[in-house]
Each structure stands twice: as structure tokens, then as C-alpha cells.
Amino acid sequence: MADERLDQITDSDFDLIALPGGADGAKRFYECDQLKSMLTAQRNQDKLHAAICASPAVVLEPLGFLKRKKATSHPVFVKQLSDQSYTQI
């Protein structure tokens, strides 16, 4: 259970934003405009962001966060990564 809801966060100055996995959760993350805005601000400030399982392919790839970066994802989602050189099935 989360400590706070996203819509209740007033200070979004995070050291790291990490997205857990799960296909349904990753889809919801991508559909959340507030989270996408927070991730974009995090990246623009050269701060850390991370994702596991489905989230790299479902969230970070479509947002353009993985351009010129190596990433991996759950095997079901690997084909959604533009650079598959770092993946192994």
C-alpha cells in the first residue's frame, strides 16, 4: 500500500522514481499524465528513474526515455524495446 496518493503529493523533488512491474500496473502508469509529467521532470533534471518487468517497455520506451540507452524488460515485452541488443530470452 502506498504512503500517499499521487494526487496528494505537493513536493515532487525525488532522488529516484522507480516503477515496479506488472503488465496491468505498467499500463496504468503510462495512462497517468501526472506520473508521466513527474518522470519527464525527473529526467530533465538529470535525476534517476528506474523500471522493472513490463515498465521499461510499456512506460519508458514510448516516452522516449530509452533512446541511445540499453535496457531490458520482462521477456513478454522485450519486442517493444527499440534496442534489443541488451536483452536475452
pLDDT in tens, 19-55: 998 999 999 999 999 999 999 999 999 999 999 999 9
Q: Where are the domains of the chain?
A: 20-80
Q: What cell numbers appear for 42 in the block?
A: 525527473
Taking residues 50-68, what's their average pLDDT?
94
Q: Is the pLDDT of residue 75 over 60?
A: yes
Confidence at residue 71, expressed as pLDDT on a 0 to 100 scale: 85
In this predicted model, which residue has the larger pLDDT, 6 or 86?
A: 6
Confidence at residue 68, expressed as pLDDT on a 0 to 100 scale: 83
Distances (CA, A) of 8 to 2, 67, 80, 85: 11, 31, 32, 39
Of 38, 75, 42, 34, the C-alpha closest to 56 is 75
Q: What cell numbers appear for 22 in the block?
A: 506488472
DSSP one-letter string for 2-49? -SS-GGG------SEEEE---HHHHHHHHH-HHHHHHHHHHHHTT-EE
